[in-house]
Amino acid sequence: MKGLPICCFISRQHKHPSKRSEETMENPQLMSNSGCSENLNQAANIIVNHDFSNGLHSWHTNCCNGFVVSAECGGRGKPLSSSRSSGNYAVVTNRTKCWQGLEQDITSRVLPGSTYSVSACVGVSGPLSGSTDVLATLKLENHGSATSYMLIGKTSMSKEKWEIVEGTFLLLAVPERLVFYLEGPSPGVDLLIDSVVISCPSSSESESASIGAGDDNIIINPKFEDGLNNWSGRGCKVALHDSMADGKIVPQSGKAFASATERTQNWNGIQQEITGRVQRKLAYSVAAVVRIFGNNVTAATVQATLWVQTPGRNDQYVGIANVQATDKDWVQLQGKFLLNGSPSKVVIYLEGPPPGTDLLVNSLVVKHAEKTPPSPAPVIENPDFGVNIITNSQLDDSTNGWFPLGNCNLSVGSGSPHILPPMARASLGVHEPLSGRYIHVKNRTQTWMGPAQMITDKVKLFLTYQVSAWVRIGSGANGPQNVNVALGVDNQWVNGGQVEINDDRWHEIGGSFRIEKQPSKVMVYIQGPGAGVDLMVAGVQIFPVNREARFKYLRHQADKIRKRDIVLKFSGAGSSSLSGTNVKVVQTQNSFPIGSCMSRTNIDNEDFINFFVKNFNWAVFGNELKWYWTEPQQGNLNYKDADDMVALCQKHNIETRGHCIFWEVQATVQQWIQALNKDDLMKAVQNRLTDLLTRYKGKFKHYDVNNEMLHGSYYQDRLGKDIRANMFKTANQLDPSATLFVNDYHIEDGCDTRSCPERYIEHILDLQEQGAPVGGIGIQGHIDNPVGPVVCTALDKLGILGLPIWFTELDVSSINEHVRGEDLEVMLREAFAHPAVEGVMLWGFWELFMSRDNAHLVNAEGDVNETGKRFLALKHEWLSHARGQVDVQGQFNFRGFHGKYAVEIDTPSKKIVKTFVVDKGDTPLVVPVEL
């Protein structure tokens, strides 16, 4: 960004020409350029006083001086040419910086989505040896964000003649203030301006064009029709082709394609700078046609990436999208991106294949993304909630309706449970007993062999189905066995729930699924034990769940555990005469913590911050506190991003979770750490603990000490079993104020036997037995098609430990915003209604800044979607308000959620407002209100 001293922001009243001294009134020695003003297209010129016929009216100097002279007057020496359209030109003098020049505010005269042509006739005068550049520039200013600049055009100047600076620009959104200015000659050299024209050749069309149409590709030369103009190699060479491989590779469209060749790194590729053509807070769609060639590689990932430089910050790399490309055909890569801040430089590039493999590009299109219309609420006729879609589930007709998947044998046995599995019972309520018959599967030679049934015609789109079954395994198993209820949906595997079995008892499987695109075939089957192990299956139930009925139950549960009876007891002067006085109680904040994930780039977007501060009271950082972020190379510490985010949270009284000190999954561990020997690794671990917890002592309420220990064991494998407990002990010593959490995923959905509630409980108890001060249980909550009783069962099991439970990374995903909103409501209501849950953190809410697609509550450009509306309605529901009158005892009674309140009393003489807080408690809370 150009340096702007304070003087640039003070008043610039230069409406009248200033006088120059004889010393500075030097002959500019300009020769006519065949009347360069005649070449300027002045049609629909948006520049006011373009030829300086009215002095400097509407123009302002930028931290320098300026005046207008007549060409006929000239000065001493040879007169200026009078063949221009005007007899006047501007002189900008006393320039001490290259960027000082002449400017005009054009904010109100520029339309978004229109292309403007710029042409200015300019010259230079003064102590100049050789040549110098004159630049045409746009300055874009928005309140609360850094000023950005767009270079329009540049020309090289000498003292002999007038020259033309020309170029074009297009803005997809007009900033709060848009300034055009001319700048550039060396300090001490005067800038001369004869005339300026900025016009829109198709202004009538532009006025009616909609920015949302996204018709304007901001990539220059997108199909290489102009060779490699505006393209370059990123760490490699680029070449242009009309064909390759003896004519086997030709463009999919157009006449040419480009290759990134002599690549020695995965990030080498082809790039184009798009600085000035991409605007902050606008969503852009990206589409590229790509393939690979050479080095005996037949398939590789190709990725579109943004390299962003922001003033005062480190380089940022924004992954846009990737696709699996081959050497056989062109494929299309598609994605979206949004920039929160005001970048000083933006480059888009394609990368990814292994070194030595050429990356071929046929075209690249980057447009303002069209807004996706809201998805309609699905209409489901006769949902038949609670009705089992499995044929012959009671096996009254032997195995009719079932068939063996693979070369196994099915028969019917007796002796299975007569009651529904508990999770199904919680959804269905009173239900007829099971028959006690089960399918016995023998002669299993593959793990996937088992009983199967076609249910294609019975499954309805967008309905959430609960899966339930009793399962058991026969003898001969070698260790624990996973048993899984699976669905084959057009040859795609869908997990309906699974359980680990290590004995001869009957076990419950509970899970769920939903189908959102019309399938041609849906098959359910039960699989899992090793080859040769018999499988027994009973009481298979697959039924659509009635979420509204569950919500009604959860409202009642939440009323019991999240509310309290409150008695406002008025006292003081005049309280004896208050009987019948109107009272209004408003809850200003529910005390149940609801927070969200954020990233450093998000806080550059004021719209994001406004939504965050208004709707969340806790924050967690997506990456900025993780070890691979704060110390990517050994000794190279980066806490600036986290510091900025902590400061923001403190400013807005938002509590923070520290995620995470360590991450036990090896793929997340930096290479420099993995290269350390055992002793050095132990020192690095200790340094990490000391650096992080000392720096932020008292600032993070929670820490996830060692993330995902049920799914990884890197530190334990390298440093021994004691290291996990020691991490907790050391963290507690360094910051005793923080609650230390375990944190893992798939705890609540029945989909992963490694992290089932029983395994999690065993893991926590083991840590506690080693002296680890585990203070909280983190359930991440990355869940699909949640079913309340399945989630609640996991919470009930974990609740026996007596530790606070938090959903730490909650997100749900559905193409349909209404269904997604319903999924989110399921999870929030289950959490709010469970006594062991003490808070919920969403894993983001803003489109393009979440780890999963179709999971957002707010669209990229700030529109709250149907999911977000459901979230806001739920938050509103959890605020208690009451109206009434003071009784004869001078009291007002109501029942309300825990949290902060304001009470307003209208007395005959005045209106009184008092605040109070309602904490948890089993007895009525008496709140004295002194008048």
Residue 899 to residue 566: CA distance in whole angstroms: 12
Alpha helices by DSSP H, 356-499: 422-428
Q: Burial level of 823, CB count in 10 A (0-12/13-18/19+)?
A: buried
Between the alpha carbon of residue 674 and those of residues 387, 539, 627, the distances in Å are 53, 49, 13
Query: Residue 694, SS3?
Result: helix
Under 8 Å between Cβ of 203 and 114? yes
Q: How far apart are alpha carbons 742 and 728 in whole angstroms? A: 10
Work out the burial of residue 433: count CB atoms within 10 Å of its CB; fewer than 13 is exposed, 13-18 middle, 19 or more buried: exposed
CA distance readout (Å), 851 to 745, 813, 844, 848, 854: 14, 10, 8, 8, 10
DSSP category for residue 434: P
Specify whether the CB–CB gap between 624 and 599 falls below 8 A. Answer: yes
Q: What value does the CA radius of gyration of the chain take, rounded to a whole number of Å?
A: 35
499/483 Cα distance (integer angstroms): 5
Contact 683, 691 (CB under 8 A): no
Residue 638 Rama label (left phi>0; alpha psi -120 to 50; beta)? beta
Catalytic residue among 163, 508, 809, 847: 809
Peptide bond connecting 63 to the previous residue in cis, omega within 30 degrees of 0 = no
E strand or H helix at 758, and its extent? helix 757-769
- Those residues with Cβ within 8 angstroms of residue 108's Cβ, 6 or more apart along the chain or in another chain: none
Question: Does the active-site annotation cover 809?
Answer: yes
d(Cα 124, Cα 90) in Å, to the nearest integer? Answer: 11
Measured on CA atoms in the order 686, 689, 691, 694, is the torsion positive or negative? negative
CB 342 within 8 A of CB 349: no
Distance CA 359, CA 361 (A): 7
Three-state DSSP string of 832-873: HCCCCEEEEEECCCECCCCCCCCCCCECCCCCECHHHHHHHH
Strand pairing class (403-405; 450-454):
antiparallel
Please answer whether residues 171 and 281 qualify as being in contact, where contact means their C-beta atoms are separated by less than 8 angstroms.
Answer: no
Burial status of residue 708 (CB atoms within 10 A of its CB: 0-12, 13-18, 19 or more):
buried
Q: Show the CA angle centred on residue 862, arms to residues 856 and 867, nearest 5°.
A: 35
Residues in the chain: 931
Catalytic residue list = 809
